A and B are shown apart, each in its own frame.
Chain A
């Protein structure tokens, strides 16, 4: 088990190296270099050369790459060209809305998806199962930003129940904050619950076909005990995997949803950085999200270890 643990943790290193390299290459793929963006169109060639030297852009690429790794190890993501401040500061400031939005959405997705999947599997091929799966299919076919727009139209514009857009920070109180995130989280989470419901259902169906389920039914256990105690326990691994993947999808979704609802989070930050060609910010946001996702997947894998002894002894 220890070697498995060690192997799994060490496997993160090459992924991180690739992630760091890709974010480096991204910027060097772009036409023009950061110096010309910082200096603006009217800069003299001498000024440009001095700035390039100052930023280390005149060094050979491999040297620049090594310096980039070194900076990342120190937690230095550089300075934003447009905001003229460290990227880490800009990211820290925008973290709250995105984190809250993603967490609420995950909660909604799991709370709807998992029970719906279990009920569908328990009443396999019944009317309930078929209507749940029909709904799930529709859920998978509607992009989250479209659902967001439709919700604004119905609840914001027509019924006027909720504010059409905007974000109330957590300092202003938990309830106003949650209220401002209600529609965004539902439009993100609802779509995701469709995927979770489908996977939960198929995972449960697989387990319900096993011999030991037949045995526990044969010895007269209540159907409820069979489904929730014996089957669910074994069906949980694929469900957990999807919940891990869910995070990646939801962070990606949050980037789009933030634009729909005008929420000042990481998504707005990266989109405005793209429009201003503020490459250090783009690099920083992309890197932070990829690293977080990798660590979450690691955590999910480590949770398996405690949940499933079969993996432990492999």
Chain B
């Protein structure tokens, strides 16, 4: 149980973000995340999982997809729910990012969240989504381009100031 609590502390934020991007419903995502961890505690942990982090993302994805009515590609994001703590408390940029993520197709959105914030490799994501690493990498590049297009003015200024 201690291991699971440590994993929850370590990856909980990324897992919740991933669940939110899949479901679009923050409360539902939170419930799914709790459900996954409580089930794992009940079943005695993650001893059988080889790649524990990837396994957790897969569990959360399954829980969200099984527990929700969404089989559709487009999700409606709750306007008041905040997903990120933005740099410099720039909540307008946070909203832009959420909107840009929402505008992506689900397969691209999943890939970008898993790689950028979940810190999974393309290979791990490929296993999780049953796609090849090349396909995943390609989806990621498309997703980045679209996000950049959506957020360009803000991104340009921030990225420019950081270098």
**A and B together in one complex:** no
